[in-house]
Structure 1
Amino acid sequence: MTSSEVARPAGGAARAITRTLSDDPLGGTVRRTVLPSGLRVLTEAIPAMRSVSFGIWVAVGSRDETGPQAGAAHFLEHLLFKGTNKRSALEISSEIEAVGGETNAFTTKEYTCYYARVLDEDLPLAIDVMCDLVADSVLAAPDVETERGVILEEIAMHDDEPGDEVHDLFARAVYGDHPLGRLISGTEETVTPMTRRQIQSFYRRRYTAPQIVIAAAGNLDHAAVVKLVRQALRGTPLDTDPAAPAAHRPATPAVRTRPAANLVEPKETEQAHVILGCPGIDRTDERRFALGVLNNVLGGGMSSRLFQEIREQRGLAYSVYSYASQYADSGLFAVYAGCAPGKVDEVLDLTRAELQRVAATGITEGELARGKGMSKGSFVLGLEDTGSRMSRLAKGELLYGNLMPVDELLARVDAVTLDDVNGLAADLLARPMSLAVVGPFDESAFAAR
């Protein structure tokens, strides 16, 4: 690792600190600059590309809301595109689209991201527009009312998608009233009374320079990106006094999960949607590489045990898979299946039997090799575009406080042993399982299971 300092203009006491994090043979040169305000800028230069993905990541998500604020982070994400002191909503979208670019945003439980993808020659425009909307949105009262209606429609649309709804129901089964168990969008009951003042307060208290990571990947020059970011933020609320970057969200104390529960959302659907699972591990747990292998073996692809048993051999479901979600201090492991209502019992019995079998006897050497190959291949193939590389930079900085080189990550997967996976399986899959079901069932249909 090498480092160098980039001084502010004459007369300024604070200095921006720039470091070269890696010169990855599987990617480009990664550099990181910490501005005096505590805002961080990371770039990966990939000269072979003709595009750049630029993202502004804020370490604020739905878990940072109080109960009455539920949905504020997502509401704010919508509102920042509605206009700034320099641009109207139409100008924000038209300036990017006029050069063939695209821009969007998303909110998760632990962070929010605003991003654009443009031709390399249009990166200065993207930086100016995106920094403007994140740093200096006006949150006009009429726009609050307009977006309130849009978000309520989004919530209603989500309620009409049982395949999505069941995942939220499962989170509530595991986490209960904890913020990790709540809807990212909030509910009609929390969004309807939310005021502009509440959203404005959330915006200015949470969107501070030390909480923000800016990441870009593609055909770019790091020093030029830093200069453009500083110009775009000059005079905005993010152009603040010197401060240290915020530490990444701590892993302790661990989130308290509720006892295993069965939750049913009665709905007249042609297909039942079921999730069976348990609390998992947090994202810094050293066993996360073994978990990736275990997940691949159980339900990570068409060759997985659950897919072969439930779909290929018995034809009980079209979609069946397992997945792991990881947070700073907790996680989930679950199996999803969509099947005819009359087949739910058989699908659940087969799923439980397979999980118990793997917990008791583990996986085979052949499955270990296949699971490791899937993990490595999917990771490397996922780095084939600038958007995924930009996301990797930001998540490494925001969620872990460091960027693990590609070769090191692949080596960590290679180092997973059969004992690692089987030990994790014996622990994880023996935990009490919660069940979430959306379909044509009574609320008490699964109470005794």
Structure 2
Amino acid sequence: MTVQQHQLANGFRIVTETMPGLQSAAIGVWVTAGGRNERIEQNGIAHFLEHMAFKGTKRRSALDIAEAIEDVGGYINAYTSREVTAYYARVLQEDVPLALDVVADIVLNPVFDPREIEIERGVILQEIGQALDTPDDVIFDWLQEESYHDQPIGRTILGPAERVRAFDRADLERFVGEHYGPGQMILSASGAVDHDVIVKMAEDLFGDLASKPLMMPKGATFTGGEARYEKALEQAHIALAFEGPGYRDDAIYTAQIYSSALGGGMSSRLFQEVREKRGLCYTIFAQTGAYADTGTLTLYAGTSGDQLDELAGITIDEMKRAACDMSDAEVDRARAQMKAGMLMGLESPTNRAERLARLVQIWDDVPPLADTVARIDAVTTADVRAMAEDMAHGASMALALYGPVGDAAPLAGLQERRAA
């Protein structure tokens, strides 16, 4: 497999990876502008803009966009994260030029028809309502807010309903004007693609874009805190966050192995101790999330209100125990899971295109896959135990509770248990 890169004169970046034997490809544009690039009055605008990309351009109606890709059996989609907004398509090899033309059209030429804005406003408000009705979804928004108080990175990606109700065409155009320059865009393609053909098309489609000043988001500071929302639900939901490394920090590999050993699968400590031995929950897991300058270890579980304190206490105890007796076998298993998950995922051209774009965003380069595997292999049991020690005793902490949680111990109580 061959990774190739190119940069146009205006700063627009292109990265491709040819995957021999495939008859399909994934191609898209990743814009380095997401939720954390919004000012407070813009909260939710990046996601709103992503929705509007499919509602018509200067050349195509909303139906034309959908039919152009689906008529050839392809798939088109988009997503918004806190640091990126992505627009991408999956098509057969012969339809790559069509897919790139459509993706470029929706990114560069949206018309923001006022009638379509009103229709999509209603769709997004329904999406917000759905999230609020999904406890194991909304609790992570509350946890993020507690982790990063009064910062763009701590705000919900969907935005509050009151702001979404107020956005208009000028707001959308303003955000595009501020953040959708060629230097903020990465064209990534993987699968049955020809690098030179992609570069030539990109030059034609994006080469005339005028450069814009890069507006760097404000640095993040993990604050910690507690959110508690009582509601008559069947389950009490708990989510914990601990400050961890960002994705430019080599410690990110240690953090990922640690979270996998702690709560990443059926053999993990939390799953075995909390679910299998004690039957306190159906779902419990730990995961690592990372941004440019910060990161979090997140733990989640759902249980009954009267068992919440027991579950939370055992979770803290298991974190403390991992600092003392995390074994070589556990680290080896977590390492194998991490490598297998990454390598299996990269059999998909869509996942490969996303990985390429992410690496170019982070490093402005694509390190060899073997380098990443070597970094994972270099993590030792001592490294993981040191990370576990920091998470159990030193790292800042945030807590979110939802459901029948009125009698649950506060954050201060869990902090005392960490210190005991």
TM range (shorter): over 0.9
The equivalent residue for 1:335 is 299
The alpha carbon displacement at 1:421 in A equals 1.4
The alpha carbon displacement at 1:440 in A equals 2.3
Q: In structure 1, the residue corresponding to 2:177 is in which secondary structure?
A: helix
C-alpha separation in 2, matches of 1:81 and 1:124: 18
Structure 1: segments with no counterpart, 5+ residues:
1-27
The equivalent residue for 2:417 is none
Residues 1:74 and 2:26 aligned together: no
Question: How do 1:186-265 residues align onto structure 2 when only pairs under 5 Å count?
Answer: 186-233=159-206, 239-241=208-210, 255-258=220-223, 260-265=224-229
The equivalent residue for 1:14 is none
The alpha carbon displacement at 1:442 in A equals 3.7
The equivalent residue for 1:48 is 21
CA contact (8 A) 2:266 2:272 kept: yes
The alpha carbon displacement at 1:47 in A equals 2.4
Residues 1:300 and 2:264 aligned together: yes
The equivalent residue for 1:65 is 38
CA contact (8 A) 2:82 2:153 kept: yes
Q: In structure 1, the residue corresponding to 2:21 is in which secondary structure?
A: coil
Of 271, 276, 279, 2:243 maps to 279
Residues 1:367 and 2:330 aligned together: yes
Structure 2: segments with no counterpart, 5+ residues:
414-420
AA aligned opposite 1:377: A
AA aligned opposite 2:31: V
* Structure 2 CA distance for partners of 1:309 and 1:444, relative to 1, 3 Å: closer
The alpha carbon displacement at 1:443 in A equals 9.4
- Equivalenced residues, count: 412
AA aligned opposite 1:50: Q
Q: In structure 2, the residue corresponding to 1:81 is in which secondary structure?
A: coil
CA contact (8 A) 2:178 2:212 kept: no
Q: In structure 1, the residue corresponding to 2:237 is in which secondary structure?
A: strand
C-alpha separation in 2, matches of 1:322 and 1:299: 4
Q: In structure 1, the residue corresponding to 2:173 is in which secondary structure?
A: helix
CA contact (8 A) 1:264 1:444 kept: no
Residues 1:39 and 2:36 aligned together: no
The equivalent residue for 1:402 is 365
CA contact (8 A) 1:362 1:426 kept: no
Of 382, 404, 408, 1:440 maps to 404
AA aligned opposite 2:117: V
The equivalent residue for 2:418 is none
Q: Which has the higher helix share?
A: 2
Give me the CA root mean square deviation: 1.9
C-alpha separation in 2, matches of 1:150 and 1:344: 35
* Structure 2 CA distance for partners of 1:385 and 1:441, relative to 1, 3 Å: same
* Structure 2 CA distance for partners of 1:254 and 1:245, relative to 1, 3 Å: closer
Residues 1:107 and 2:80 aligned together: yes
The alpha carbon displacement at 1:221 in A equals 0.8
Question: How do 1:78-97 residues align onto structure 2 when only pairs under 5 Å count?
Answer: 78-97=51-70
Q: In structure 1, the residue corresponding to 2:228 is in which secondary structure?
A: strand
* Structure 2 CA distance for partners of 1:445 and 1:310, relative to 1, 3 Å: closer
Comparing 161-170 with 401-410, which one deviates more in the overlay? 401-410
CA contact (8 A) 1:60 1:73 kept: yes
TM-score (norm. length: structure 1): 0.88
For each residue in 1:389-433, what CA deviation from the matched residue of structure 2 results, as whole angstroms up to 9, or x when unmatched?
Answer: 111110000123221211111111111112211222222321243
CA contact (8 A) 2:308 2:408 kept: no
CA contact (8 A) 2:182 2:206 kept: no
The alpha carbon displacement at 1:446 in A equals 3.2
For each residue in 1:61-102, what CA deviation from the matched residue of structure 2 results, as whole angstroms up to 9, or x when unmatched?
Answer: 011111111001001001111111110111001110001100
* Structure 2 CA distance for partners of 1:244 and 1:439, relative to 1, 3 Å: closer
Comparing 52-61 with 432-441, which one deviates more in the overlay? 432-441
C-alpha separation in 2, matches of 1:403 and 1:261: 37
Residues 1:171 and 2:144 aligned together: yes
* Structure 2 CA distance for partners of 1:254 and 1:427, relative to 1, 3 Å: farther
Of 288, 298, 309, 1:345 maps to 309
The equivalent residue for 1:426 is 389
C-alpha separation in 2, matches of 1:377 and 1:109: 27
The equivalent residue for 1:316 is 280
* Structure 2 CA distance for partners of 1:61 and 1:362, relative to 1, 3 Å: farther
For each residue in 1:271-324, what CA deviation from the matched residue of structure 2 results, as whole angstroms up to 9, or x when unmatched?
Answer: 121112211111111111111111111001110000000111111111100011
The alpha carbon displacement at 1:177 in A equals 1.4
C-alpha separation in 1, matches of 2:113 and 2:219: 39
CA contact (8 A) 2:254 2:384 kept: yes
* Structure 2 CA distance for partners of 1:36 and 1:254, relative to 1, 3 Å: closer
% identical aligned pairs: 39
Of 131, 138, 144, 2:104 maps to 131
AA aligned opposite 1:255: A
C-alpha separation in 2, matches of 1:305 and 1:383: 28
The equivalent residue for 1:326 is 290
* Structure 2 CA distance for partners of 1:410 and 1:447, relative to 1, 3 Å: closer
* Structure 2 CA distance for partners of 1:447 and 1:329, relative to 1, 3 Å: closer
Comparing 52-61 with 394-403, which one deviates more in the overlay? 394-403
The alpha carbon displacement at 1:436 in A equals 0.6
The alpha carbon displacement at 1:169 in A equals 1.0
CA contact (8 A) 1:132 1:233 kept: no
Q: In structure 2, the residue corresponding to 1:317 is in which secondary structure?
A: coil
The alpha carbon displacement at 1:444 in A equals 8.3
TM-score (norm. length: structure 2): 0.94
C-alpha separation in 2, matches of 1:329 and 1:190: 27
C-alpha separation in 1, matches of 2:149 and 2:254: 28
C-alpha separation in 1, matches of 2:356 and 2:226: 38
